[in-house]
Amino acid sequence: MSRTDSAAPPEANPQVRPPRRGGDGPLGFVWSSVVMGWRWLVRMRTALYLLGLLGLETLIATVVPQEPNVAATVDAWRTGAEGPGTLVSGLIDLVGGYDVYGSPAFLALLLLLFLSLTACLIPRIRAWVRLVRYSRPPLTRSAGRQEVVARLTTSRGVDEAHRAAADLLRANRWRVRTETDAGEDGVVESGPPPQVAAEKGLWSREGGSLLFHLSFYVLLAAIVFGQLLSFEGQRAVVEGERFADTPVSYWTYGPGRWWGEDSHRGWILDLEQFHVDWVRDPLAPGAGQPTLFRSDVEVTRPDGSTRQTVIEGNRPLVVDGMKIHQLDWGYAPLVQVEVDGELVYEDYLTATATDAGHFRAAVKAPSADPDLGMSVFFYPYAPDNEAGEPVPTGAPFADAPLVLFQLFRGDLQLGRTPQTINELDTSALESAGGAWLREGAEVDMGDGVVVRFVELRRWVGFQVSARPQIPYLLLASGMLLAGLWPALYAFRRRLWVVAERDPGSGHTIVTVAGRAFQRPQAFDDEHAAFVTRLARHLDATPSDADDPDRILEPVSEEME
């Protein structure tokens, strides 16, 4: 490599910038663009901008309802029934604000963030590995000029002082380097004097930061593979009934792409009883709040072994690696409908709670001619008044259950319009009157229709999930926290111990100098403690620490 001659004119010297690798053609342009883009990505400022963008996206996701969570609210916002109106709604849709975390913009941002992270980390990891493998504590030329200095005077020899200091430092897990061959008399014309140099916190701080940032890759991998391998399904079960872990028995079925039908374990769950209770005293604090949700279940494994157990809100049941959660519950009145003496409907309704305190369900009997539908309101507590009429209340406990319904005939439009199990599409139906029923009673609606409310049970909504990614998520969290602590709290500092013979008194003067790259306060204490310990080992006395050489530099509080 040719040297630069600073005395020569610029033209005579070699070019500072090496020639472009891709030449000057279109390929060269592409190459230089890539290089520039990479340099842009490596900058910390870019990472800050990207973090800001991520924050903005997250803010939108916080303020705007998200389609995967609350699809109904999003529909209401889109139609203008709720929210800021259709114009704003259209704008939100334009930027993908209703599904931020599924939008292409978010994916692009995530990609950029990880690219930037990678671009930052590769040189840092290389530098760190080099540091760990090759670095040695640097020597000091004049210990007296360091930021923190203390001096001791002892009658012990120079070598003994160095040895004692090195032993003490090693015992405290400092990385120690001893230089003793700088000359017999300890004074060398050029070059550092004999000394013990030590360093600490060099790997841990940067290493912690690297571990913290590397945990994001583990996190990302766990989330991506989790999406592919996981399974989640829901199913409502009425007391006394059962369901098996087979693909067809779930009401909502959400398998990952790599979840096959044979991945199901095939256990059977019997719901024996569901317990629910509330604070019933209307004057007690928290009146009406629920106090108990518990399902008594029996699980039958494929090998035939059975187990009695309970599932509670915070205590899911784990069967063969699948978690069974109790998500929601409701009342399940058994309703029979006869048309002209023929049973057209008999089932437990899964009535779901409404904000008003009552429960809603629907009866759909397409086997009647014409179709028969019922919109059902269930009131758990509707006591009689003096006239013997039921008075519906919003209380949730089933002390005086009442079924209120409206009967419809016509076309249910099953399979043609979107409707949930508890919703009736009344657009092609005609009302045929309404009535109320107590448990065990029946009512004749005319036209040969008889409705019976046979008995009352409860149903529980179970969620079954298999998430093989959880151990890896925990691993990522562990890495994150394990890295974060040293990244924030480890600090890098250096110590030098220089022992010199004082020709005047014949004593040995030991200078303990130090420099902290972060957290100078913590280092001051550490330095003082070390000086005290060293003095005890050497039977030394502190001498005047103020040295004319010492430069008083203002140290800023934090240097990271």
Partner 1 sequence: MSQDQLADLSRLLYSPVTLLLYVSAAIVCLYSLTTRAAVLTRKGRPAGQFLLRVGLALSWTAVAAHVTHEVVRGLAQSRLPLGNMFEFTSLMALAGAVAGLVYLTIVRKRPELVGFVMLGAAVVVSSAMLTYADPGPLMPILDTWWRSFHVSVIVIAAGIFTVGFLFNGLHLLRDTAEQGLADARASARTGGVTAASGSGDSRGGLATLTAEGEVSGRVMPDEDHVGAAGPVEAERGAMRAAISPLRLAVGTFLGTSTVSWVFIATPTTTMREGITRALTVNLTLVAVALIARWFVPFLPQAATLDGLAYRTIALAFFAWTFGVIAGAMWAEQSWGRFWGWDPKETASFLTWIAYAAYLHARATRGTRGRGAAWIGIGAFAVLMFTYYAVNLVFVGLHSYAGLS
DSSP code for 400:
B
Tokens (6 digits) for 344? 């057209």
Binding residue (CB under 8 A) for partner 1 from 69, 308, 431, 541: 69
* 115 is a contact residue toward partner 1 (CB under 8 A): no
* 252 is a contact residue toward partner 1 (CB under 8 A): no
At its nearest, how many Å lie between partner 1 and the CB of residue 98? 12
- Output the CA torsion sign for 423, 428, 434, 438: negative
Tell me, rounded to whole angstroms, the distance of Cα 77 from its chain centroid.
28
Determine the interface stretch with partner 1 among 22-30, 237-245, 286-294, 431-439 (rule: CB under 8 A): 286-294
If the CB atoms of residues 65 and 373 are measured against partner 1, the closer one turns out to be: 65
* 472 is a contact residue toward partner 1 (CB under 8 A): no
* 123 is a contact residue toward partner 1 (CB under 8 A): no
At its nearest, how many Å lie between partner 1 and the CB of residue 215? 11
396 to 435, contacts with partner 1 by CB under 8 A? none
If the CB atoms of residues 38 and 101 are measured against partner 1, the closer one turns out to be: 101
442 to 471, contacts with partner 1 by CB under 8 A? 463, 465, 467, 470
Tell me, rounded to whole angstroms, the distance of Cα 61 from its chain centroid.
16
Determine the interface stretch with partner 1 among 53-61, 135-143, 196-204, 296-304 (rule: CB under 8 A): 53-61
At its nearest, how many Å lie between partner 1 and the CB of residue 209? 9
At its nearest, how many Å lie between partner 1 and the CB of residue 554? 5
User: Hey, how many other C-beta atoms are within 10 angstroms of the C-beta on 458?
Assistant: 24
Q: How many residues bind partner 1 (CB under 8 A)?
A: 52
* 71 is a contact residue toward partner 1 (CB under 8 A): no
Query: 447: exposed, middle or buried (C-beta count within 10 Å: 0-12, 13-18, 19+)?
Result: exposed
* 52 is a contact residue toward partner 1 (CB under 8 A): yes
Residue among 226, 158, 222, 228 nearest 196 (CA): 158
Q: How far is CA 220 from each of CA 121, 351, 481, 519, rounded to the nearest angstrom?
A: 16, 40, 16, 33
* 128 is a contact residue toward partner 1 (CB under 8 A): no
* Beta strand 322-339 pairing with 252-255: unpaired
Q: How far is CA 425 from each of CA 287, 342, 349, 378, rounded to the nearest angstrom?
A: 37, 24, 17, 19
Dihedrals phi, psi of 528, to nearest 5 degrees: -60, -40
Binding residue (CB under 8 A) for partner 1 from 132, 485, 502, 532: 485
> In sequence order, what DSSP letters do the residues of 66-90 get, joined into one string?
-TTT-HHHHHHHHHTSSTT-HHHHH
Asked if residue 68 lies in contact with residue 99, where contact means CB atoms within 8 angstroms, the answer is: yes
* 58 is a contact residue toward partner 1 (CB under 8 A): yes
* 556 is a contact residue toward partner 1 (CB under 8 A): yes
* 323 is a contact residue toward partner 1 (CB under 8 A): yes
Binding residue (CB under 8 A) for partner 1 from 80, 84, 240, 286: 286
At its nearest, how many Å lie between partner 1 and the CB of residue 239? 19
If the CB atoms of residues 314 and 385 are measured against partner 1, the closer one turns out to be: 314
* 63 is a contact residue toward partner 1 (CB under 8 A): yes
Residue among 424, 446, 426 nearest 435 (CA): 446
Asked if the bond preceding 370 is cis, omega within 30° of 0, the reply is yes
| Alpha-carbon span 510 to 534, nearest angstrom | 10
301 to 320, contacts with partner 1 by CB under 8 A? 312-316
* 118 is a contact residue toward partner 1 (CB under 8 A): no
Residue among 329, 368, 384, 381 nearest 352 (CA): 329
At its nearest, how many Å lie between partner 1 and the CB of residue 105? 16
* 117 is a contact residue toward partner 1 (CB under 8 A): no
| Alpha-carbon span 389 to 99, nearest angstrom | 49
Which residues make up the interface to partner 1 (CB under 8 A)? 44-45, 47-48, 51-52, 54-55, 58-59, 61-63, 66, 68-69, 101, 232, 279, 285-286, 289-293, 312-316, 323, 325, 327, 463, 465, 467, 470, 473, 477, 480-481, 484-485, 488-489, 521, 554, 556-558, 560
